[in-house]
Each structure stands twice: as C-alpha cells, then as structure tokens.
Structure 1
Amino acid sequence: MIKRDPDVEVYALGQHICMSAHKARRVIDQIRGRSYEETLMILELMPYRACYPIFKLVYSAAANAIHNMGFKETDLIISQAEVNEGTIVKKLKPRARGRSYPIKRPTCHITIVLQDISKDQEYFIWLRKSGWVYKDKYTDVRERYLCMIELERLKWANDVIERYLCMIEQDRLKWANGEWAYGESEGVWDKK
C-alpha cells in the first residue's frame, strides 16, 4: 500500500486496465523517480502497449495536481508508481467437436503518485546529505533539480575521461619500458 503526504503529493488510480501486471511493470520501472516532463517524453517514445494507459494516468495525476492543489508542472516528479494485479476475466473459446478452451485475460490496477518538490524540505535535506546540492548555492527549486541532473552527467563524463587517461598512461609506460614496439607484442605486423 502506498503512503502519501497530502500536502505535497497527488495521485491518480487506474483500475481494471486490460493487460498483465508484468507488462505494465516494465514501463513503470523506467519512469519511477523522474520528472513529469521527462516522463511524458519517455512514454511517448517507448514502443510498448502499456505506455498509453500509463501516459493517460500520469497526465491525469498532473491535472489533479494543477487544478486541485495549485502545483506547477515543472516542480512535479513521480515519487511512487505501483502496479497490482486485478481480476482475471475468464472466457471460453469454441473449438472443434463442440469443445471449448478457456481464455484468461488479466487486468491490473496502476497507481501514480506525483510529488511537488518545491514544497518538500525533507527532499532537499536528503539531496544536501547525499552531496548533490550545496548550502544555499541554488535558491530556485528547478535549478536544484537541474543541478542534480547536471552533476550526474559530469560524473559520467569524468569516469569516461579517467578511463581514457588511464589507457593512455598504460600505453606510455609500455612504450617507455620497451614492451610495446611495432610488430613485437601486438602481432599486427607479423603477416608479410
């Protein structure tokens, strides 16, 4: 069961959606924790059938947040997303010789919870403790969130640069020690 804080969170619930919970969870796992705008782009571009009802639910939850609570779209993130199994619709398909085969059509219940990060101070405390945001360097909430995304990109770029520099340093040491010469250790120039 999802626990919600009514001051900063708004939800939308879709019941008896005609698809298995497993197929819906594939998509839900990709959008959990992302911003509202990023989620809409992901759902539009993913090739799964489950994307359309989840897209409608996210859009509905955002409409609830804007109309009922007065939140801004830019401050919304998907804090919780859950898929539960619903009832199974059982039918019979007629077959040869008067027999019938059972058809089971699974349904699922999807819950999407949107959180307004501009009003949630505990979220910023967690960001500061984890090292994403420094003391009052950024005042606007959107800038804080964008700073977190930019720091993640910089961290990834630094990892790539470190690996590249490490490879260059290893090649330089091999060259200095005489281990790496044309045609000796690499085996590229052996064929004549």
Structure 2
Amino acid sequence: MEMRAVSKYIRISPTKARLVADLVRSKPLGEALTILKYTPKKGARYIGKTLRSAMANAENSRVMDMDNLFVKNVHVDEGPRLKRWRPRAMGRATRVIKRSSHITVVLEER
C-alpha cells in the first residue's frame, strides 16, 4: 500500500527542486525529514511540506503503520512557464522564463 501527496504550481525551477528530491528518495521517513530540515535550499521547504502532507494522508487513512514508512519515490515534473520580458539596450527586449514545478511524494510501508 502506498500513500501520495502532490503539490502543484510551485514557483521553483524543476532542476533546482530535483537536486533536493535526490537527497531523500528511498530513505526512512524520519531520516528524510531530518535531511530536509537541515538542507539550506529553497526546494527543501517545498518538498518537506509535500512530504508532511503525504505523512498526514497516511496517518488519517489508518491503514499504514507510521513507524515503518519510507519515501518510495519523489519526482518533480515541470509545470507551466511564466513568460516575461526584460528591457535591454537599444530598445530591444529579452524573454525571461519563470519556471514552475509539480512535486509528487510517494510513501510506502516496509
């Protein structure tokens, strides 16, 4: 049995979030939370929030034992991009792409 949580439209680049996701993949739940707590990256806050949501889903379903949970999978997909323009020299403009992410955390029982 597995429990999942999804956070959508998070304003962080998927590449930056994947760096943090690789740290906690296939770790026990307590260890993953500790790693995210002490990781000084913006993605750690969002992935931690999604991980705690999946943990709450597992706790409220009352089918899974909280002591035996581990992070089965964390994947970060690309969300929609915001396209903005920045003025440049001689009347030109360049495009600035602001990326977003969809974060999915899957917990499973050992």
TM-score by length of 2: 0.90
75, 78, 82: which one aligns with 2:75? 82
Cα distance in 1 for residues equivalent to 2:81 and 2:91 = 24
Note the alpha carbon deviations across 1:67-109, whole angstroms, 9 max, x for none. 0244232111001111111211101123455443211011111
2:102 alignment counterpart? 109
Q: Distance in 2 between matches of 1:102 and 1:80?
A: 34
Higher share in strand? 2
Distance 1:33 1:96 in 2: 49
Q: Which residue of 2 aligns with 1:29?
A: 22
Q: Structure 2 vs 1, CA of residues 37 and 97 (structure 1 numbering), >3 Å: closer, same or farther?
A: same
Q: Which of the two has higher C-alpha Rg?
A: 1
Higher relative contact order (CA 8 A, sep 6+): 2
Q: Provide, for residues 92-144 of structure 1, a one-character-per-residue CA deviation record: whole Å limited to 9, x for no partner.
A: 12345544321101111111000022xxxxxxxxxxxxxxxxxxxxxxxxxxx
Instruction: Tell whether 2:9 aligns with 1:16.
Output: yes
Counterpart CA distance in 1 for 2:64 and 2:39 is 27
TM-score, normalisation: structure 1: 0.54
User: Which protein is richer in helix relative to its size?
Assistant: 1
Question: Distance between the aligned counterparts of 2:83 and 2:5, measured in 1?
Answer: 27
- In structure 2, distance between residues paired with 1:33 and 1:72: 17
| Structure 1 residues without counterparts, runs of 5 or longer | 1-7, 118-192
- Pick the aligned partner of 1:55 from 48, 60, 72: 48
Gaps of 5+ in 2: none
